Amino acid sequence: MAKPNAGKEKPKKAEEKPKKSANEELKYKVRIMNTDLAGDKQVHMALTGLKGVGRRCASIFTTKAGVDPNATLGLLPDAEIDKLKKVIEEDATKILPVWMLNRRGDIETGLDQHVMGMDLNMTLREDLDLMKKMRSYKGIRHERGLRVRGQKTRSSGRTGAIVGVSRRKEGSPAATKE
């Protein structure tokens, strides 16, 4: 059944992008925390390119730095990019609430931390190595390449060429009974 006012809706106009002036040049890559971020995206979405930074963290970082989250990252002046870098590289435990931190109760120090960038890869690798070294259940499962979090493995997660049940052929001598 058609809508009562079908065909009467006005066509939507394409959103016009703000035209940049001659002195504003778009930087296609902006480097923050040793990571190249897309300069043609909005600031809060471009910051999600950092490992360990999601949309919520990015919005908190932009408000703390006083940067418009909907502005294009590549069109920001260098002073605002520097403010943003300073806020991100600053200790995130002071900025983010405790429930948002991604490493609470660190094994070695016992402190709450928020790890970002390449540090996140290193800490993950160190944690896995520690689990393997102390021969925990999770460490052994990681070593063997099996499912770690209690998933079923009988039917899913199969690798290799043959998947499924193999049956004997009809004419084979093992299949015939006399």
Distance between CA atoms of residues 49 and 71, nearest Å: 16
pLDDT at 143: 94
Q: What is the DSSP letter of 37?
A: E
Query: What CATH number belongs to 29-98?
Result: 1.10.8.50
Higher-scoring residue by pLDDT: 171, 118: 118
Q: Kindly report the pTM of this predicted structure.
A: 0.69
Q: Where are the domains of the chain?
A: 29-98, 100-144
Distance between CA atoms of residues 47 and 54, nearest Å: 8
Length of the chain: 178
Lowest mean pLDDT among 13-17, 59-63, 143-147: 13-17
